[in-house]
Amino acid sequence: MLEVEPYLVELIIKLAEMRQPITTAQGLQLANSLINGTSIKGKIIEWKKRNCHAFKVGKGKLELGEGYWRSFMRRNGHLIRAKKAVKFDNKRAQWCNYLNMSKMYEEIYNNLTTNSLAVAHPEAVWRNENGDIVENESEAFGMKSKYELIHPEWLIFMDEVGSNTSQSKDGRVTF
C-alpha cells in the first residue's frame, strides 16, 4: 500500500479542501476501491495469509481494515489530521451568488452613508491604496466605486471565522 498511499493522501486533502471530510469507514472504502482489481490487492491478500491469525482460521477479511487505517494515519499524520467534523450550511452555495452579494453590499453602503461614515459620489472612480482618485485601472487598488469612506476610524469590521462565528453548531457548546 505504500505506493498507493500518496494518492490516497492527496485525495483526502482535496476532499477536505472541498469541505467534504471523510470518516474512517469512508477512508477505508476509498483505500479499498483504489486497490480493487490491481496486483496490490493480491499482494495484500498474500501478506494477510502469512501474517494474520484470523485469515489462517478462515475468518479474515479480504479488504483493508481498521488496523491498516490506524497505521496509515500514524504514517501520514504530518500530512493529514483527524478532527471533530463540522457541518457546513448546505444553502451557502445557493445563497452566494452575484445578485445576493450585490444586494448585500448595496445595503452596507447605504448604511455607511446614512450614518455619515461614507459619502456617495455621482460617478464611480478608481482609487489607489491611499484612497486618491486615479485615472487608470492599472494604478487602481480594488474596483471602481462611487463610495468614499470618510471616517474609517468609526468603523469596526467583523468577518466570519471558520464556518460559524457563534460556534453554536461546532459540537463543543454546553447548554
Is 29 among the domain residues? yes
Based on the domain organization, do 62 and 116 belong to the same domain? no
Q: Which amino acid is at 69?
A: W
Picking from 14, 43, 76, the residue at the C-terminal end of a domain is 76
Q: Is the pLDDT of residue 168 over 60?
A: no
Based on the domain organization, do 71 and 100 belong to the same domain? no
Mean pLDDT of the chain: 80
Residue 102 CB neighbours (<10 A)? 10
Q: For residue range 28-87, list pLDDT tens digits in order.
A: 999 889 888 888 888 888 888 788 766 655 565 678 888 888 889 999 888 887 776 565
- Rounded to the nearest angstrom, the gap between the alpha carbon of residue 58 and the centroid of all alpha carbons in its chain is 43
| Residue 118 pLDDT class (50, 70, 90 cuts) | very high
> Could you list the residue range(s) of the whole structural domain that residue 46 is in?
5-76
Report pTM: 0.46
127: β partners: 133
φ and ψ at residue 124, rounded to 5 degrees:
-75, 140
d(CA 128, CA 141): 5
Based on the domain organization, do 120 and 67 belong to the same domain? no
Number of domains in the chain: 2
